[in-house]
Amino acid sequence: MSRFESGMESMIDMYIYETTSLLEQLDEIMMRTETNNEFGEEDINEIFRIMHTIKGSSAMMGLENMSVLAHRIEDMFFIIREENPVIDEKKTLFQLIFDSSDLLKAEIDMLQDDDSEPTDFSDQITKIEKFVEYLKKCVNGEGGAAPAAEGEAAEAAPEAADEAKPAEAAQPEGSSGFCKVRVYFEDNCEMENLRALIIVNKIKEYCTELKTVPDNIENDPSTAKDIIDNGFLIMFKSHVDDYKVVLSEIEGAVNVKSYEIEEEPSELAAPATEKAAEPAAEAPKPAAAAPTVEAPAVEASKPAAAPAPKPQPTASQTNEQINKKIAQQKNAGGHANKGKQSLISVNLNKLDQLQDMVGEIVISEAMVTSNPDLKGLKLDNFQKAARELRKLTDELQDIVMSVRMVPLSGVFNKMTRIVRDMKVKLNKDVDLVFEGEETEVDKSVIDNLNDPIMHMVRNSVDHGIEATAEERIAAGKPAKGTVTLAAYSSSGEVIIVVSDDGGGIDCQRVLEKARENGLLTKPEEEYTEKEIFNMVMLPGFSTNKEVTEYSGRGVGMDVVRQGIEKIGGTVSVDSKAGEGTNFIIKIPLSLAIIDGIEVSVGKSIFTIPTNAIKKFIKLKKNQLLHDTSHKEIIKDGNKLYPLIRLNQYYGIQDSLDNVYEGVVVLVESDGRYACILVDELIGEQQVVVKPFSPMFNRYNIKQQGMAGCTILGDGSITIILEIGSIIENNG
């Protein structure tokens, strides 16, 4: 039975997306603070805000276990923020947050499983409550060690933050001096109480005091009816230069139909320097959650008054300064957006459908413009219309592709947490370095990269980097190891390199293991170094004698290879003894549509990606030469290139053998060049890449130079060539 009611699918998707993003943000903050061994004020406020949001949204979805866990963390950081205790056991605090983040992520992964049951977080909550007790002792000057996992000290802790919160904040004496704005939401937008909470969270940083009617909007869904009937009353005080920003946030909030300014005081909050002189007896107010209370009934029922004149700023706070403040917020992409949101979230399935539709349009266009019935006809107007159609489909394709492009930074940043956990458990000092993380690839490619890259990073840290700092120092290396994640674009594909500066792969050990497992297909002395390195991609291959939590180098690397090939990519290994190992992943920028040149070889038609073609050569006498090993090479100017006869490469009959009668195509992949001999050029064509049937997976056809297939305008099928593999296989 599903954990959610029918009709909540869109809400579930949004909840999962937003909560996952918040937890990733939490991990980034925690990684930074752990490195600095210190929580900055902004870090504490941000963690408080993250847990506050997760608590509220989880409660809305009925996920009580997640809401309670987030609430306990929020309570803990309330004490850290308000009381500023001196924490000696920061390691324990860091681990508590990391463990809680992992539990919440695991629970999110289970949410769409209809048979899943809520996880019991009571053990983790108990640990947090005990740490809260420890924090309270630190506040009281008692100090001592952080509490152990067992004990009764935490029994009173669930209410720790509630006790710390000032009771006076929930019962203000009045609402005098507040600006009062009543907000009305669009009809039938649903969950008005949570939409009101979103507004509160957006404006609270600009308010010195903030109250709402109704008040318990976060935890009481019944307040939605009150908001529908009477609107949502916001009462706030702010500095003069933040006043218009608050109104702009309210105006630009999603689903807000209108708002009325019921009361606009003549004086706004005093500057911060004056505020510091307030009586010390006043209890502190939690800034992140912005306590909300109900104003006296007479205020709530008061009819809407006409807006009062806008407050007049002092000489030092002119309208120009206020407007400048708002302009700065806008320029920073910040909070003063007066219009509706310019960004929307779109389900990836809809983008997939849109992309598939564009692909079908491209195929249909080719079927029309390349229709055999049109051959020999003079159709000037038709050709003009066809060119215009091609231009529009190209633009449509570019737009659809750009919508799907996302940076690799999201994948790379997730590896930071992996390396952090491994450093702790393996007692290794390792730096993770990013290069080119802003490189963009298709969203569907990104989704399939997490597991392969994670596996490679784990192997690099576990068995690439030397076991001890002493080994590295003895080898003339820095004591701290380095794992690098680098990405860059090249010829229509993205290259991702996972490298370490460890001991490298031992070729002899690889050969021994391959011999033991019966994996050798030719005499050992005939294997090149590159072939030996790539043996680690064979199923079940490993040179590691000890099984660890993170596996030995090679375990599961065949799965990594299959995952990369599934998205049209390739993976190879390069290593140097004593210097380190590189895992090189090559993936297409997009999986959908490419520009290609159709060529014929005998009765077969192939498509060569346009981005791999450098030039076409019609050979003249004396341009065909032979090297010392009798391999054919082409001389073009002052440069020499190896010649690959495509008919011989694929064993195609009835093809031209005379190199001077055919056409030579100079191609390039990753800095390597070669000349490919074909019978003739057919023409340029935009093609939709179709994957091969899974039944061909066991033949490893991608390594033989076939990247995929496509449907031509006349309905026939052509093979799309993988130039990199063809050049590599040619030696």
**Cα angle: 55, vertex 41, 267; to 5 degrees:** 90
- pLDDT number for residue 559: 76
10 Å CB burial of residue 694 (0-12, 13-18, 19+) is exposed
Run of H or E including 614:
strand 613-617
- Whether 485 shows a pLDDT value over 90: the answer reads yes
- pLDDT number for residue 292: 36
Residue carrying structure tokens 């994996």:
519
- Going from N- to C-terminal start, the domains of the chain cover 9-164, 168-331, 348-405, 408-588, 593-729
- pLDDT number for residue 496: 92
List all residues 6 or more positions away from 130 whose beta carbon is below 8 Å from its beta carbon: 147, 148, 149, 151, 153, 154, 157
- In this structure, what token pair is assigned to residue 371? 């229709």
DSSP for residue 313? P
- Whether 664 shows a pLDDT value over 90: the answer reads yes
Instruction: Identify whether the C-beta of residue 621 lies closer than 8 Å to the C-beta of residue 705.
Output: no
Pairing outcome for strands 706-711 and 717-721: antiparallel
Report how many helices (DSSP H) and strands (DSSP E) the chain contains, helices first.
23, 22
| Better-scored residue on pLDDT, 672 or 308 | 672
The 10s digit of each residue's pLDDT in 232-259 is: 999 988 877 778 888 888 888 878 888 8
* Nearest CA among 423, 418, 479, 487 for reference residue 454: 418
The Cα–Cα gap between 369 and 387 comes to: 9
pLDDT band at 171 (very low <50, low <70, confident <90, very high): very low
- DSSP-assigned states of every residue in 139-153: HTT---PPP-SS-ST
List all residues 6 or more positions away from 22 whose beta carbon is below 8 Å from its beta carbon: 50, 53, 54
Q: Cα 403 to the chain's mean position, in Å?
A: 15
- In this structure, what token pair is assigned to residue 710? 């496509």
The Cα–Cα gap between 644 and 600 comes to: 15
The Cα–Cα gap between 166 and 293 comes to: 13
The top-level CATH class assigned to 168-331 is alpha beta
The top-level CATH class assigned to 408-588 is alpha beta
Q: Work out whether the CA dihedral 609, 611, 617, 622 comes out positive or negative.
A: negative
- Kindly list the strands in the beta sheet with 663-669, ordered across the sheet, starting from the edge strand earlier in the chain: 613-617, 663-669, 672-678, 639-645, 632-636, 624-626
- In this structure, what token pair is assigned to residue 420? 């952090």
Pairing outcome for strands 440-442 and 405-407: antiparallel
- pLDDT number for residue 276: 37
- pLDDT number for residue 273: 38
* Count of beta carbons in the 10 Å neighbourhood of residue 696: 12
Please state, rounded to an integer, the average pLDDT across all residues of the chain. Answer: 77
Looking at residues 273-281, what average pLDDT do you find? 39
Choose the weakest-confidence range: 56-65, 75-84, 699-708.
699-708
pLDDT band at 186 (very low <50, low <70, confident <90, very high): confident
Equal CATH topology for 168-331 and 408-588: no
Choose the weakest-confidence range: 258-267, 292-301, 485-494.
292-301
The Cα–Cα gap between 545 and 556 comes to: 15
* Count of beta carbons in the 10 Å neighbourhood of residue 202: 15
C-alpha torsion 31→32→33→38, nearest 10? 150
The Cα–Cα gap between 542 and 721 comes to: 32
10 Å CB burial of residue 311 (0-12, 13-18, 19+) is middle
The 10s digit of each residue's pLDDT in 312-328 is: 433 333 344 444 444 54
Residue carrying structure tokens 């983040």:
101
* Nearest CA among 502, 483, 470, 467 for reference residue 418: 483
Q: Residues 325-363, buried b or exposed e (16+ Cβ, 10 A)?
A: bbeebeeeeebbbeeeeeeeeeeeeebeebbeebbebbb
Q: What is the 3-state secondary structure (H, E, C) of 101-142?
A: HHHHHHHHHHCCCCCCCCCCCHHHHHHHHHHHHHHHHHHCCC
Residue carrying structure tokens 């700023």:
313
The 10s digit of each residue's pLDDT in 420-446 is: 888 888 888 999 999 999 888 888 788
CATH classification code of 9-164: 1.20.120.160
pLDDT band at 675 (very low <50, low <70, confident <90, very high): very high
Q: Residues 644-666, buried b or exposed e (16+ Cβ, 10 A)?
A: bbbbebbebeebbeebeebbbbb
* Nearest CA among 34, 37, 136, 124 for reference residue 82: 136
The Cα–Cα gap between 689 and 61 comes to: 41
The 10s digit of each residue's pLDDT in 383-415 is: 899 889 988 988 888 888 788 888 888 889 888
DSSP for residue 294? P
pLDDT band at 333 (very low <50, low <70, confident <90, very high): very low
- pLDDT number for residue 680: 93
* Nearest CA among 43, 105, 33 for reference residue 70: 105
The Cα–Cα gap between 505 and 251 comes to: 61
Run of H or E including 490:
strand 481-490
The Cα–Cα gap between 560 and 113 comes to: 26
* Nearest CA among 115, 10, 22 for reference residue 66: 22
- pLDDT number for residue 2: 54
% of the chain exceeding 70 in pLDDT: 78
Run of H or E including 721:
strand 717-721
Pairing outcome for strands 232-237 and 179-185: antiparallel
- Kindly list the strands in the beta sheet with 717-721, ordered across the sheet, starting from the edge strand earlier in the chain: 680-688, 593-601, 604-609, 717-721, 706-711
Q: How far apart, in Å, do the first and last CA atoms of the chain sit?
A: 58
The Cα–Cα gap between 239 and 699 comes to: 70
- pLDDT number for residue 709: 84
The Cα–Cα gap between 589 and 397 comes to: 13
10 Å CB burial of residue 699 (0-12, 13-18, 19+) is exposed
- pLDDT number for residue 491: 65
- Whether 642 shows a pLDDT value over 90: the answer reads yes
Looking at residues 199-214, what average pLDDT do you find? 88
Looking at residues 324-345, what average pLDDT do you find? 47
% of the chain exceeding 90 in pLDDT: 17
Q: Is 280 helix (H, G, I), strand (E, B) or coil?
A: coil
Q: Helices 240-252 and 319-331, interaxial angle, to 10°?
A: 50
How many residues make up the chain in this entry? 731
Instruction: Identify whether the C-beta of residue 646 lies closer than 8 Å to the C-beta of residue 601.
Output: yes
- In this structure, what token pair is assigned to residue 485? 């994640």
The Cα–Cα gap between 256 and 258 comes to: 6
Bridge partners (DSSP) of residue 482 are 431
Run of H or E including 512:
helix 507-516
- pLDDT number for residue 301: 34
Answer whether CATH 2.60.40.10 is correct for domain 348-405. no
- pLDDT number for residue 556: 64
The top-level CATH class assigned to 593-729 is mainly beta
- pLDDT number for residue 339: 40
- Whether 161 shows a pLDDT value over 70: the answer reads no
The 10s digit of each residue's pLDDT in 563-618 is: 787 777 788 888 988 899 999 998 876 656 677 899 999 989 999 988 889 999 98
